[in-house]
Amino acid sequence: MSTSTSSKAIPTHDSPPIPPASTSTYIIPQLSGELVSIPGSKSVFRILASEKQTGDDSIGVFSSGGALADAPGFHHHERAHDIFMVTKGELKLWVGDSCRILQAGDFASIPPKIIHNPHLLGPITETYGLIHPSSWIDFFRYVSEPTDIPSIIYPEQDSRSLPALLVPKVIAAAKAGKDYDVHFHREHVGCEVAPWSDADTVLPDGEAPYYLRANRGPRWILGGVVSRPFITGTQSSGKFAITSLEGSSHLDAGLNPLAAPLRYAVHHVLVVMEGKATINVEGYAPATLTEGETVFVQAGVAWGVVFESRFVRIWSFSSGDGVERVIERAGRQYTEGYVVPDKAESWDAQKFEEVCKELQVKAA
């Protein structure tokens, strides 16, 4: 199914500079992006979108992969809001006075001023992250080595000490008057790991640090699309939102509310986590994406998605209330199941139009 008549393909960037330094739609292949590696981390950051692409300071989105290595150390950010999402392996994460072991699908939100420390437990750990403001990603660029990373996946054999290399560089930057908003607490002692609890299955009513256990959080449904928000504007003070969009090619295509492109007032970074989906972006020919591929769509450009396999999971990162809020307000809470239902349901078209109007979302 396609709603675009243009023959112009969305640019795919798989060689430097990626992503491009312009506010336009693009696709990034699996395990690609602007690659930076912090010495001694045995890991790589793959920047998928930053202020260079959004044209503002709203969101920076990246993935990372690494092996068991030293933790960077306890630190906080005065202004930056940090997010951790695990897709493979294990991550030991201290957040304030709590600590959890995060595995695939687990999530953590760390607002400004909260002391935290991530420790990859490996041997293979993959994560996604979002940070606001997006210019904070310049810290990665400052402390990293050149972007021509020789490793195919990440520098697993880098045996240097991460803290020994990282902390002096941050101190030197501060002395030179460069504020990267990283404040170390070298004497801080982390607490013991605690088990997951029922508190880790709900979203807080405001901006606060929290963990969210995989697939245990709130769920919303509209038509045949399930949305599992990790964080909304309520928890980020309106700065950004992240959700998992899930659907199926086996459901009635006419009951897919995302098929017809909609023009949102915020940026969206869409990452296909499972399955295959066709993305229809205004002004471009339809593009079919599979696992690990990313598309960036800037604010004001309409986009829609068609699910092309039995199960599709797409993670949506937006610079404010986006697709997740449309599904929440126009749909209903999905409490009777955890997976995509066997049958899509109809929805109130008038309510859908009213919600879109409230959120400044327009049909293409």
Q: What is the pLDDT of residues 184-224, one digit of tens each?
A: 999 999 999 999 999 999 999 999 999 999 999 999 999 99
Residue 57 lies in a domain: yes
Q: Does 137 lie in the same domain as 186?
A: yes
Claim to verify: residue 359 and residue 330 sit in the same structural domain: yes
Any idea what the CATH number is for the domain that residue 281 is in?
2.60.120.10
Alpha helices per DSSP H over 134-292:
138-143, 162-175
Please report, rounded to a whole number, the percentage of residues in the chain having pLDDT higher than 70. Answer: 96
What's the structural domain count of the chain?
A: 2
Question: Cα angle at 72 between 69 and 74, to 5 degrees?
Answer: 135
* pLDDT for residue 38 is more than 90: no
Instruction: Say if 205 falls within a structural domain.
Output: no
pLDDT digit string (tens) for 319-331? 999 999 999 999 9
Other Cβ atoms less than 10 A from the Cβ of 83: the count is: 22
The pLDDT score that the predictor gives to residue 155 is 86
* pLDDT of 20 above 80: no
* pLDDT classification of 177: cutoffs 50, 70, 90: confident
Instruction: Please say whether the dihedral angle defined by the alpha carbons of residues 12, 13, 19 and 22, taken in this order, is positive or negative.
Output: negative
**pLDDT at site 16:** 63
pLDDT bracket for residue 1 (50, 70, 90): very low
175 and 275 housed in the same domain: no
At residue 298, does pLDDT exceed 90?
yes
Query: What's the CA angle centered on 322, arms 126 and 363, to 5 degrees?
Result: 130
pLDDT at residue 151 greater than cutoff 90: no
- pLDDT tens digits along 247-262: 999 999 999 999 999 9
Which pLDDT belongs to residue 23? 80
Q: Which domain holds residue 92?
A: 31-200
Looking at 200, 233, 260, the residue that finishes a domain is 200
| One domain for residues 95 and 235 | no
Q: Are residues 343 and 271 in the same domain?
A: yes
Q: Based on the fold, state whether residues 146 and 250 are members of the same structural domain.
A: no
Whole-model pTM?
0.95
The answer as to whether 8 is a domain residue is no
In three-state secondary structure terms, 168 is helix
Q: Do 107 and 228 meet the contact criterion of CB atoms below 8 Å apart?
A: no
Q: Are residues 99 and 247 in the same domain?
A: no
The Cα 50–Cα 54 span in angstroms is 6
Highest-confidence segment of 42-51, 135-144, 212-221 = 212-221
**Is the residue at 152 inside a domain?**
yes
Same domain, 145 and 223: no
Same domain, 120 and 166: yes
**Span 270-288, mean pLDDT?**
98
Are 289 and 186 within one domain?
no
Q: Are residues 166 and 243 in the same domain?
A: no
Q: Which of 304, 302, 306, 277 is nearest to 291 (CA)?
A: 277
For residue 169, which of 134, 145, 199, 193 has the smallest C-alpha distance?
Answer: 145
Query: In this structure, are strands 262-263 and 220-222 parallel, antiparallel, or unpaired?
Result: unpaired
Q: What is the mean pLDDT of residues 294-300?
A: 97
Query: 37: how many CB neighbours lie within 10 A of its CB?
Result: 24
- The SS3 assignment for 200 reads helix
Residue 5 has pLDDT above 80, yes or no: no
Query: How does strand 183-184 pair with strand 75-76?
Result: antiparallel
Same domain (yes/no): 191, 110: yes
Residue 68: pLDDT band (50, 70, 90) is: confident
**15 assigned to some structural domain:** no
Decide if 267 contacts 318 (C-beta within 8 A).
yes
Look-up: residue for tokens 């002395």?
175
pLDDT band with cut points at 50, 70 and 90 for residue 142: confident
Residue 170 pLDDT greater than 70, yes or no = yes
